[in-house]
Amino acid sequence: MKGDEREHRERSLYQALCYAEGEKRVIDGADMTQSEQAQKTELLAELEATRQRTFELVDSLSDEQLEVPYHPGVNPPLWEMGHASFFYEVFVFNLLDGTPSYDPSMDDLWDSFHIDHGDRWSRKLFPGREQTLQYFNTIYDRVASRIAQQPLTDEALYLYRYAIYHQHMHIESMTWCRQTVALPAPPGIVGALPERVEPLPGDALIPGGRYQVGMPGESDCYATTDFAFDGEKPRFETTVEPFAISRHLVSNRDFLAFVEDDGYRRPELWSFGGRKWLSTETDTALVHGSSQPMLREPRHPLYWRWHEGEWQERVFDRWQALNLDAPVVHVSYWEAEAYCQWAGRRLPTEVEWEAAALGNRIGEDFRRFPWGNERPTPDHADLDATHMAQQPVWDYPAGDSRSGCRQMIGSVWEWTSSQFLPYDGFRVDMYPFMSTLQFGDHKVTRGGGCATSSCLIRGTYRQAYLPLRNDVYTGFRTCALSDSASGTR
């Protein structure tokens, strides 16, 4: 990080925090209570952490590396930075204050719904690193100043948090972009830890009954404890039949057995959609660093290869021996479905997944995480682009659910068998495209992945991906078939 940029951000944060200090301060004629002060201090720290992570994801790349090759699953890092800044303009300053844009001529270009995906790579349309960074810092400084100086209403708090969390979605996509185009690992990656716990075999038996699913559609705490996106609402009650679900994720070792049993060459294991995906050639040039197209039909997970007598996986810009006890990652829905057919298992529905993860039975206190309502810590889950799904599938016992399932938050987004559809009573939030564009043809994944931010995820969060996606941090766990739901494999 350049010294002048660090000094600029530290000074901005210090100035913003100074506005929020003190037990009470008169702002626009109203006393700021200790509670509001605490909320502001926490919000400013979260905003600054978000700025810092975004800046580092750009600053750690050279100008040449920022010119990422086109791929339908990623965006140029500088566009991500500008787009996130624009989101604050639209959903904080415009909605709350009616403030005009920083540069109205750029509005359509930073807006993802007004510019074609391929046009985001056009050098003629977008400013370079320094101008984009200036825009980014200007907007973040203005947001911090507004938080510090204006009353913190529920509406304002909700919009601040929404914009911050939206930025964390792009932090995750900026991380998988590095994986997609084989850039160096982002700052903050920690190597695999020594093995800390014993393996956790078998299934957890989930009792049948009435469960609560999702977050409240209407709540006085919509900006705080009940904050959620529209796809998670409204909460409903449903009956779940008893079922057995694996205590841990499918590992590379598990999936390798499927690969070596010619699982990719046995069409009887694949559904119609899976067979179509399996017979479609994909250009894997980016995977292998080739300047020429490499059209291949899938025969193993995207970032695996057989090389010099061993299976290897690519993690960002380096190949390493396949980590057998880590969760299988970067697999499509079709691959997960075929593995289940081969193993005599099935994927959980998203309702089953939430029942196993949270266990929110009617009449009991509602949990937002498998372990309770405490925000995730590094002991609970692999989040925040720290270990990148390289820990064993039986690690993180502190994150266990009441049913005994492990790593249901973090590590990999878990495929479910459910289509992404609105819950009954769905209402669009203030951002109309958070969920609506994915309804119908996407599958639901749950739990968050290793690159997901810990401030963003909860057990009710629904992420939608097309079933062919294998460039993102997706994996899965399996359920016993109904006639064998006995609690053991």
What pLDDT, in 10s, does the model give residues 223-246? 999 999 999 999 999 999 999 999
Question: What is the pLDDT, as a whole number, of residue 194?
Answer: 76
Among 151, 180, 209, identify where a domain stops.
180
| Structure tokens that stand for 295 in this block | 């059209």
More confident residue, 457 or 201: 457
Regarding whether 95 and 33 lie in a shared domain, the answer is yes
Give the three-state DSSP class for 264.
helix
pLDDT of residue 5: 52
Q: Are 446 and 357 in contact (CB under 8 A)?
A: yes
Q: Is 232 in the same domain as 129?
A: no
Q: Output 288 or 30, whichever has higher pLDDT.
A: 288
Let me know the angle formed at the C-alpha of 200 by 195 and 204, rounded to the nearest 5 degrees.
150
What span, in angstroms and rounded, lies between the C-alpha atoms of 464 and 442?
6
Q: Using CA atoms, how far apart are residues 314 and 298, in angstroms rounded to an integer? A: 16
Question: Which residue would you say has higher pLDDT here, 487 or 318?
Answer: 318
Q: How far apart are CA 175 and CA 384, in angstroms?
A: 10
Backbone angles phi, psi at 355, to 5 degrees: -65, -40
141 & 264 share domain: no
Distance CA 304, CA 165 (A): 32
Predicted confidence (pLDDT) at residue 275 exceeds the cutoff of 80: yes
143 neighbors 418 (Cβ within 8 angstroms):
no
- Do 230 and 129 lie in a common domain? no
Q: How many CB atoms lie within 10 A of CB 18?
A: 10
The string of pLDDT tens digits covering residues 465-489 is 999 999 999 999 999 998 654 433 3
- CA-CA distances (angstroms) from residue 37 to 99, 113, 135, 143, 220? 25, 36, 28, 16, 20
DSSP at 452: S
Q: Are residues 282 and 357 in the same domain?
A: yes
Alpha carbon distance 285, 12 (integer Å): 43
- Whether residue 329 is found in the same domain as residue 379: yes
Lookup: tokens for 82:
């500008």
| Same domain? 349 vs 394 | yes
Q: Which helix (H) or strand (E) holds 418?
A: strand 413-419
Are the beta carbons of 211 and 362 closer than 8 angstroms? yes
What is the CATH number for 85? Answer: 1.20.120
Q: Which residues contact 103 (CB under 8 A, 6 or more apart)?
A: 135
Q: Is 457 helix (H, G, I), strand (E, B) or coil?
A: coil
**Domain count across the chain:** 2
The residue that leads in pLDDT, 299 or 191, is 299
Q: Which residues of 449-464 are buried (b: 16+ CB within 10 A; e: fewer)?
A: bbbbbbbbbbbbbbbb
Give the pLDDT score at 200. Answer: 87
What per-residue confidence (pLDDT) applies to 162? 97
CA–CA dist 390, 399 (Å, integer): 16
- Same domain as 205, residue 289: yes
Q: How far apart are CA 5 and CA 58, in angstroms?
A: 13
Non-local (6+) Cβ contacts of 437 within 8 A are none
What is the per-residue pLDDT for 431?
87
Q: Are residues 370 and 469 in the same domain?
A: yes
Same domain, 261 and 132: no
CATH of the domain at 405: 3.90.1580.10
Q: What is the pLDDT of residues 96-120, one digit of tens each?
A: 999 999 999 999 999 998 999 999 9
pLDDT (tens digit, 9 = 90+) per residue, 176-190? 999 999 999 999 898
Q: Is 322 left (phi over 0), alpha (psi -120 to 50) or beta?
A: beta
- Residue 293: CB partners within 8 Å, gap ≥ 6? 283, 285
> pLDDT value at position 430?
86
Tell me the per-residue pLDDT of 407-440, one tens digit each, with 9 for 90 and over.
999 999 999 999 999 999 999 998 888 999 999 9
pLDDT given for residue 21 in this prediction: 42
pLDDT at 4: 52
pLDDT tens-place string over residues 321-360: 999 999 999 999 999 999 999 999 999 999 999 999 999 9
Contact between residue 350 and residue 211 where contact means Cβ atoms under 8 Å apart:
no
Which of 147, 162, 180 is a domain's end point? 180
User: Which range of residues forms the domain containing residue 326?
Assistant: 188-489
Please give the structure tokens belonging to residue 416: 């479910």
Does 408 lie in the same domain as 284?
yes
Q: How confident is the model over 13-72, as pLDDT tens digits?
A: 444 444 444 333 333 434 568 888 999 999 999 999 999 999 999 999 999 999 999 999
pLDDT(2) > 60? no
Instruction: Name the average pLDDT for the chain.
Output: 92
Q: Are residues 145 and 254 in the same domain?
A: no
Report helix, strand or coil for 299: coil
pLDDT at position 28 is: 40
Among the candidates 164, 180, 196, a domain finishes at: 180
Per-residue model confidence as pLDDT tens digits over 370-402: 999 999 999 999 999 999 999 999 999 999 999
